[in-house]
Amino acid sequence: MHRCAICQNNRAQVIRPKNGQKICKNCFLEVFELEVHTTIVENNIFPSRGERVAIGASGGKDSTVLAATLKALNERYDYGVEFVLLSIDEGIHGYRDDSLETVKRNAIQYEMELCIVGYDALYGWTMDKVVEKVGRKGNCTYCGVFRRQALDRGAKRLNISHILTGHNADDIAETVLMNLLRGDLPRLGRCAEIMTASLTSPMRRSKPLKYAYEKEIVLYAHYRELDYFSTECVYSPEAFRGNARSLLKELEKIRPSSVLDIVRSGEQLVHNAVSPVKLGCEDPKRNWREERMGLVNGSQTLSDEPVNPKLLPKIVHKTRNDATYQITVRSVQQPIPSVKLKFFIFFA
């Protein structure tokens, strides 16, 4: 029988994927909460006392564990913060209506104020109606944009400027892989950050569970006997994230620490990001960020003149509206320096 590596008394019940440590149930609960507290303190997530902070609550395991953990830590370490549950009703019949009942129970259990904001009231559309129009392909993109704005509006109603989300290490690792596979450097630069802000929104967003494995979140909810909703969104199987999730699970089978390794790699890519100008791939006088945004959004191209494909360089821009590649005439006319680039993902 394996003894707990921490207390040396109880039987080990958990093997932690991040370090292979074998620990008992009580030590696991204590270490899990301590690590979340360490993340909060090291990143100064709650810089001032008396702040009202919204927790994005969906009724799922992540947001439920986040709410339960923060309530316990706030009482133990006296953050001096008031937490409010903020839920979004996307209007998905048979999924969100049931999960909101779980959120209502959580609000009573954790003695937190609850605010529910719906797509139908904000936009006049529900996700069911959106899917009827656009189909099951790409509907998660619409939902993500709607939800982010709905969280902002809900927080504004509550006079709150700080939102906590239940994104865990697996979620962030999947997002890093997605952005790498799509070649989306701007999003890659944001997805690995624990705290984010936008010039277009006064809201701050933080991820206290950033370094918590999904497996450990499930175990924590199980051992604490938390009340959460476990059904997956009916539209999510068609999302591109599912491919990144499958890849991550295969990597995790080979190397259990792969999840945090990818998160750390994403952080390093952010800190060591090099602009195309520094690489000599762009003219420093060009506003390449605006051009890239215009091309990605499919709203403009630099020229409509036809170009001989045989004369095109290997630098292309992909539009969102179609699957074709748009090559700018300007990039053809300008000489492109010969630069050999090697890209690595370091698994720390």
Instruction: Give tens-digit pLDDT for 151-201.
Output: 999 999 999 999 999 999 999 999 898 888 887 777 776 788 898 876 667
Residue 204 has pLDDT above 70, yes or no: yes
3-state SS, residue 118: strand
CB contact at 8 A, 191 and 172? yes
Summarised one tens digit per residue, pLDDT across range 103-150 is 999 999 999 999 999 999 999 989 999 888 888 777 788 888 899 999
Distance CA 189, CA 204 (A): 16
Q: What's the DSSP call for residue 314?
A: S
How is domain 24-271 classified at the CATH fold level? Rossmann fold (3.40.50)
pTM: 0.75
**For residue 227, what are the CA distances in angstroms to 2, 55, 63, 223, 224?**
31, 16, 11, 11, 9
Summarised one tens digit per residue, pLDDT across range 218-258 is 999 999 999 999 888 888 766 778 788 888 889 888 888 89
Summarised one tens digit per residue, pLDDT across range 257-284 is 899 999 998 888 766 654 444 444 444 4
DSSP character string of 73-90 = HHHHH----EEEEEEEE-
CB contact at 8 A, 260 and 128? no
**Average pLDDT for residues 206-224, to the nearest whole number?**
95
Distance CA 244, CA 68 (A): 29
For 273, residues 6+ apart whose C-beta sits below 8 A from its C-beta are 185, 189
CB contact at 8 A, 287 and 281? no
CB contact at 8 A, 146 and 119? yes
Residues 39, 45, 51, 54, CA torsion sign: negative
DSSP tally for the chain: helices H, then strands E: 14, 10
CB contact at 8 A, 113 and 107? yes
Domain positions in the chain are 24-271, 286-333
CB atoms within 10 A of CB 104: 16
Structure tokens at 300: 């403009």
The C-alpha angle with vertex 209 and arms to 147 and 63, in degrees rounded to 5, equals 45
